[in-house]
Amino acid sequence: MSAAGQVLADVPRAALWPIFASVVRRDLLLAMRRRSDVLTTFFFFIIVVSLFPLGVGPEPNTLREIAPGVVWVAALLASMLALSRLFAGDYADGTLEQLLLVPQPLALLVLGKILAHWLVTGLPLVLIAPLLGLQFDLPGAALGSMTAGLLLGTPVLSMVGAVGAALTLGARGAGGLLALLVLPLYIPVLIFGAGAASAAAAGLQASGHFSLLGALLLLALVFAPWASAAALRIALE
């Protein structure tokens, strides 16, 4: 039995949140053992955002105008780097088959894996974004709105990406197919997230953008784990 199977076997059959916490803890431990993958995502985000001021030039107005879009596109691309590994390792070593055998809902276990993915790929981007925003001469209100937007939007990226990762699991050319499936679904998050920071930079209210991001987060929270679980069952048949 694999390490994941041993962890799941130790959890009472009726317990939901203990097994959820076990899945999150296991995936976090595995991520810490593969620090290079985590650091690749983190430094990719930093490098992409930092290259734009060098290429565009030092004009403050231009930098402030493009900053929200640059940061959000970089966050979107960085989050995609780790999507192909979300279920691939568990699929290769048989852990996913064991997850199907436990009495707890598979959607809850998938949600635990998505949370762990966001903690190691999305949360670091949220934390470093204000510092990177200083390169674009963004005012404090815009930095706050950009950070809040990323905090709401990056979990949506992880959940939507999980659906795509589950649908392409085991397929040939999964990386390119995953990008084709996921990128169009990322567009609303990109628009509303960048729009919130742009509105704050222009002195306008960003509450509408945050409301839409919150609505997307709730929709993804309800439907993405269920859709990912259904796709995983199909992939394992």
Whether this prediction's pTM lies above 0.75 is answered by yes
The rounded distance, in Å, linking the Cα atoms of 147 and 111 is 23
Non-local (6+) Cβ contacts of 193 within 8 A are: 68, 72, 146, 149, 150, 152, 153, 209, 213
Quick check: 4 pLDDT over 80?
A: no
Quick check: 65 pLDDT over 80?
A: yes
The rounded distance, in Å, linking the Cα atoms of 164 and 179 is 8
Position 156 confidence tier, pLDDT thresholds 50, 70, 90: very high
Q: In angstroms, what CA-CA distances link 6 with 26, 102, 147, 200?
A: 11, 12, 39, 49
Non-local (6+) Cβ contacts of 16 within 8 A are: 104, 105, 108
Position 174 scores a pLDDT of 66
Position 5 scores a pLDDT of 47
pLDDT 10s digits, 111-150: 999 999 999 989 999 999 999 988 888 888 889 999 999 9
pLDDT 10s digits, 205-233: 888 899 999 999 999 999 999 999 998 88
Number of Cβ within 10 Å of residue 173's Cβ equals 9
